[in-house]
Chain A
Amino acid sequence: MSKRIVRVASGQGFWGDWQEAPKLQVRTGPIDYLMLDYLAEITMSILQKQRERDPTAGYARDFVPLIAGLSPELLGRGIRVVSNAGGVNPDGCRRALFEALEEIPISRPLRVAVVSGDDLMDRLDSLLGDGHELRNMETGEPLSAVRDRVQSANAYIGAAPIIEALRMEADVVITGRSTDTALTYAPLMHEHGWAADDWDRIAAGVVAGHINECGAQATGGNTLFDWRGVDLEAPGYPIIEMAADGTFTVTKHESLGGRVTWATVTEQLVYEMGDPIEYITPDCIADVSTIQLRDLGENQVAISGVQGRERTGLLKVSIAYRDGWKATGSLVYAAPDALDKAIRADEVLRARLERLGLRFDEIRTEFVGAGACSGRSPDHLPEAVRRGLPEVELRVGVRSSDRAAVDRFTRELAPLILAGPPSVTGFAAGRPRVQEIMAYWPALIDRDAVERNLEVEVSHA
């Protein structure tokens, strides 16, 4: 078996991540692939809303100037890019990229692939008509219950179309709702020629993808181990160095900041983990409990032993639907007795909402500075701590199917400044904004119903 190592570097862990990271990955040392993950569960519905307002929008806009600017170096160094930046409009993303490339001198045209077919929105009624009920995985309810409020529906798709795009010699692969981990393991399957039923090696790729998909969270960001000691000014994001046999090393560019140790990698491994022996992806079921992890020192962590099982016949579908309105606002109360003042203000506010006869599905009050993060009520605070709090932020949120009720709530906070308990400030941001709630509806669908519609198309600038 080949001793060749393939390096897949992580450049973005979410839409809004550090823009310098992908540039540093490309410029600081050798890599073969740059993966950029932009999508979270709620991102698709935000992008769908943007596309409704503007048919050319609906993708991660940051991607376009980033890749256009990097393209001379990508071509010069032979680095290929795999990203789900396409959101609900991969084709629009490519068009914008080609437009931006007109200004950039490059040695040859950039070949850009678009993967489409994950977006089920236009096919939803025919799918429901064919008996795909798309029941909510948590509640068991069929999608028909909320069909008229559905905002977006996308299947999490696997490696096959990305591999096809790479075979067609794409320099940049733009997908919609590709599974986050596939952005890492698809190029590995392609480069090492792993078969689609080589479950253990694909599972190793899935674990590599899980380490890559949250950017610096695997290289010292968010670490609780010696967090004071980690240089996070210019952290190196993770790089996977994968051998053909499915063993790999997690590392980073040595000259950059951050840190790769047993601690930083294990912390990322357990992040957003469910049942570790059932890590389900479109291309295999990985068993995370089988991992052997060894810290080799010098920012190198070796991973081996990963086992996988046959993939399921289903794909997960991420559906967003409109589910009412919400707003959240806050005021700050100062010592002495900051918490007691905030509690009194909350009582007054709730009594006024009650007098107005407004209907809410939920009113939630949190006292920031008095334990809101710990998930524990301020009743747990020792009396001395409670009395010593220099200030407390009263944070109140409401949720309702009645937009007018939520709107009225946003007008009831400011009056507390004059007609409420003393020592209050912190209203500079103004009245809270009313937001439409896009609720998440996870469902499963037969793989075939999605995969027969997947398309890959390569064109060049």
Chain B
Amino acid sequence: MKIRLERIAIARSGDKGDAANVGVIALIEDAWPILVREVTEERVGEHFKDVCKGRVERFELPNLGALNFLLHESLGGGGTVSLMLDAQGKTFASSLLELEIDAPEEVVSLCDRVLSGELPGR
């Protein structure tokens, strides 16, 4: 089924110089392979194409069920040089959670139960 990423993952973002980092974390173990398949460097680059002038790098942290993205040249020069409202990329995480992905219904419904507090999650 088509869902927004926020149904199966949480995220956090910050800055590394002029690169933004976005970490995406699967809510349950079965959501991890879906992240790996759906949340690719290409799709993340497309999502942030208005701000990301450099390449997108993806790193895998299977133990934590997480993907880490570096979006190079995305913060208007970074640090004190940047004129951007969000010069540290703090809000990139919630933006990426709006990405539309394809996920099996059973995984999504398990994640719904994690988000509602019925199941413990990872």
Binding site for B on A (CB under 8 A): 41-42, 45, 138, 222-226, 229, 261-263, 266-277, 288-293, 295, 297, 305, 323, 326, 328, 362, 364, 366, 368, 372-377, 395, 397-399, 437-440, 442
Residues of A within 8 A of B50 (CB): 375-377
Complex formed: what's the CA distance from A277 to B51 in Å? Answer: 27
- Given contacts A224-B93, A271-B14, is CB(A323)–CB(B61) below 8 Å? no
Q: Is A364 a contact of B83 with CB atoms below 8 Å?
A: yes
Complex formed: what's the CA distance from A291 to B25 in Å? Answer: 14
Complex formed: what's the CA distance from A41 to B14 in Å? Answer: 13
Closest residue on chain B to residue A269 by CB atoms: B64
CB-defined A-B contacts under 8 Å, sample of 16 = A41-B79, A45-B80, A224-B12, A224-B97, A267-B23, A269-B23, A269-B66, A270-B21, A270-B24, A276-B61, A295-B120, A373-B91, A374-B91, A376-B50, A398-B83, A440-B81
Complex formed: what's the CA distance from A122 to B65 in Å? Answer: 46
Q: Is A270 a contact of B61 with CB atoms below 8 Å?
A: yes
Q: Is B64 a contact of A266 with CB atoms below 8 Å?
A: yes
Chain B residues 1-52 with CB under 8 Å of chain A are 6, 10-18, 21, 23-25, 48, 50-52
Residues of B within 8 A of A376 (CB): 48, 50-51, 95
Residues of B within 8 A of A272 (CB): 14-16, 21
Closest residue on chain B to residue A290 by CB atoms: B63
Closest residue on chain B to residue A380 by CB atoms: B50
Closest residue on chain B to residue A395 by CB atoms: B85
Q: Is A291 a contact of B63 with CB atoms below 8 Å?
A: yes
Binding site for A on B (CB under 8 A): 6, 10-18, 21, 23-25, 48, 50-52, 59-66, 68, 70, 74, 76-81, 83-86, 91-95, 97-98, 115, 117, 120-122
- Given contacts A293-B63, A293-B64, A376-B50, is CB(A440)–CB(B23) below 8 Å? no
Q: Is A138 a contact of B17 with CB atoms below 8 Å?
A: yes
Interchain nearest-CB distance for A192 vs B (Å): 24
Q: Is A289 a contact of B25 with CB atoms below 8 Å?
A: no
Q: Is B83 a contact of A273 with CB atoms below 8 Å?
A: no
* Chain A binding surface SS class: mixed
Q: Is B83 a contact of A267 with CB atoms below 8 Å?
A: no
Closest residue on chain A to residue B16 by CB atoms: A274
4 closest A-B pairs by CB: A270-B23, A397-B83, A375-B51, A364-B83
Complex formed: what's the CA distance from A288 to B60 in Å? Answer: 10
Interchain nearest-CB distance for A364 vs B (Å): 4
Closest residue on chain B to residue A373 by CB atoms: B91
Complex formed: what's the CA distance from A437 to B74 in Å? Answer: 19
Complex formed: what's the CA distance from A222 to B78 in Å? Answer: 21
Complex formed: what's the CA distance from A441 to B40 in Å? Answer: 31
Residues of A within 8 A of B97 (CB): 224
Interchain nearest-CB distance for A13 vs B (Å): 12
Q: Is B23 a contact of A271 with CB atoms below 8 Å?
A: yes
Residues of B within 8 A of A442 (CB): 17
Residues of A within 8 A of B16 (CB): 272, 274
Q: Which of B25, B86, B117 contacts A373 (CB 8 A)?
A: B86
Residues of A within 8 A of B86 (CB): 372-373, 375
Q: Is B10 a contact of A289 with CB atoms below 8 Å?
A: no
- Given contacts A263-B10, A276-B68, is CB(A440)–CB(B78) below 8 Å? yes
- Given contacts A262-B122, A268-B12, A276-B68, is CB(A439)–CB(B79) below 8 Å? yes
Complex formed: what's the CA distance from A156 to B97 in Å? Answer: 34
Residues of B within 8 A of A271 (CB): 12-14, 21, 23
Q: Is B122 a contact of A295 with CB atoms below 8 Å?
A: yes
Complex formed: what's the CA distance from A41 to B77 in Å? Answer: 14
Q: Which of A266, A288, A326, A374 contacts B83 (CB 8 A)?
A: A326
Closest residue on chain A to residue B23 by CB atoms: A270
Q: Is A42 a contact of B63 with CB atoms below 8 Å?
A: no
